[in-house]
Amino acid sequence: MNRRQPSTAALLAATIVVVVSLIALVLLPIVVRRQTESYRLENERHADPARVELNEISYRLSRQMAALTRAAATSDERHVERYRQQVPLQEAAVKSLGTHAGAINPEFDAAFAELQQRLATWHASVQRSVELQQLAFDANYATVIETIHRLDAAITAYQGTRRERVRLLARMQVWVTFALVLLASVAASLFLWMAQRLRTFAAMLGEEATARQAALERQQELVRIRDEILGVVSHDLRSPLTTIALSAQLVPGSPAAEQTEHVQTIVAATRRMERLIHDLLDVTKAEQGRLPIRRGAVDPAAVAREVVASHQPIAAAQQIDFEASVADGLPRISGDGDRLAQALTNLLGNAFKFTPAGGGVRLSVAQRDGNVLFEVSDSGPGIAPSDLPHLFEPFWQARKTAHLGAGLGLKITRAIVEAHDGAIEVTNLAGGGACFRIVLPAMKE
């Protein structure tokens, strides 16, 4: 037994590394997107308004200089009055520009302080020239223009720094993603190597025929457990992970009400993942294709609404028209709500997988003959008649859909339905596409 402990510990560690790496790969784009969005908001709050106010100051300066030039050429006091009318507008722009001091960079702060001083000096010199009735323009105006150019350069440098940080974030995301993928690959290889080692060790146990037979059965059980765990992880965790990623990407740019809805969708998908992870070992205890369930009174309408909410982001991302129809007054079902949601999620996952962009997927729930009927239909290519008898076989896939999944989804779905004393069937629709129907007995009042 002491020889087995290191192998088991390493296998557990490799599994944890793989799971943590997958979660990090999902969360990394979200973190990078949020930081990039913060840089964009900083530009919108400070750099862009500051540049607008700086342009306003330049415009007012040009108007003032034009008025003074005409006044010097014509000795018309009306032009001097036009100059004076521009001064408060310019001062208002300078005051508004000052609200961004301290938020951009030290170069901006220094140039802004200098701008205030040089504007005051220039206006004072103009005022003296007006009082002496000898309009003359010294070098103060040129220094004001030079200071405005320095402020513009400081704003440009601030924006350039934000753009450079965004580029650094993008490069960091690439390298961290590469490192996580590499780490997950190494951990997965270690996982498979340790599983092989456990099988070999189990095959060597015992010298007598009965011990060898027991070791062989244990080895086969380990292989089945491994395949079941890998299949459920790759198939059943993909859908909630996709829902979390898509909903999280919609949160930053959505209104407050929609953000709450997206967060609720993420929470629901996260809880589904937690339940699936806790139930991985329970799957291995299924007898004759039946999964263990936790019976209780289940509202089919509530289950349908939860599944629909978690698939809306997927439908939007794939440009698929997703429609749901849930009848009123549906009777309750004796069973496991999470397992029923898992079954519907498997069927909807297949429907979205084989429906092209612009197509449609429909989920309907109705009462029929004392039973509750769930229907999932799509507008995809349908199922070849020769493939229909094999759909619910584990690890089987049609040739045209090879490599699109582990082939466990429909097997698990049928096991869930049968555990609820129900039945499942599939047919091709006359207009194209396929329709899966689940019939579950309603609870007696």
Q: Give the tens place of pLDDT for each residue, 306-364.
A: 999 999 999 999 999 999 999 999 999 999 999 999 899 989 988 998 899 999 999 99
Residue whose C-alpha is closest to residue 28's, from 243, 134, 237, 175: 175
pLDDT at 243: 85
Structure tokens given for 438: 């689940």
Residue ranges in the chain whose pLDDT is less than 70: 1-8, 10-11, 25, 132-139, 191, 194-195, 197-198, 201-202, 205-207, 209, 218, 221-236, 275-291, 393-408, 445
Question: Residue 123 corresponds to which amino acid?
Answer: H
Query: Whole-angstrom Cα distance, residue 316 to residue 349?
Result: 14
pLDDT of residue 134: 62
C-alpha–C-alpha distance, residues 26 and 169, integer Å? 16
| Long-range contacts, stretch 95-103, CB < 8 angstroms, 24+ apart | 96/49, 96/53, 97/50, 97/53, 97/54, 97/57, 97/151, 100/46, 100/49, 100/50, 100/53, 103/45, 103/46
Q: Please tell me the predicted confidence (pLDDT) of residue 198.
A: 67
Whole-number pLDDT of residue 403: 40
- Residue 166: how many CB atoms within 10 A of its CB? 15
User: CB-hemisphere CA count at 13 Å for 165?
Assistant: 17
Predicted local confidence at residue 440, as pLDDT: 95
* The predicted structure's pLDDT at residue 363: 96
| Position 109, amino acid | D
Confidence at residue 331, expressed as pLDDT on a 0 to 100 scale: 94
377-389 pLDDT per residue, tens: 999 888 888 777 7
Residue 258 confidence (pLDDT): 82
pLDDT given at position 49: 86
Adjacency order of strands within the sheet including 360-368: 321-326, 360-368, 371-378, 434-441, 423-428
CA dihedral (150, 152, 155, 159) in degrees, to 10, reads: -120
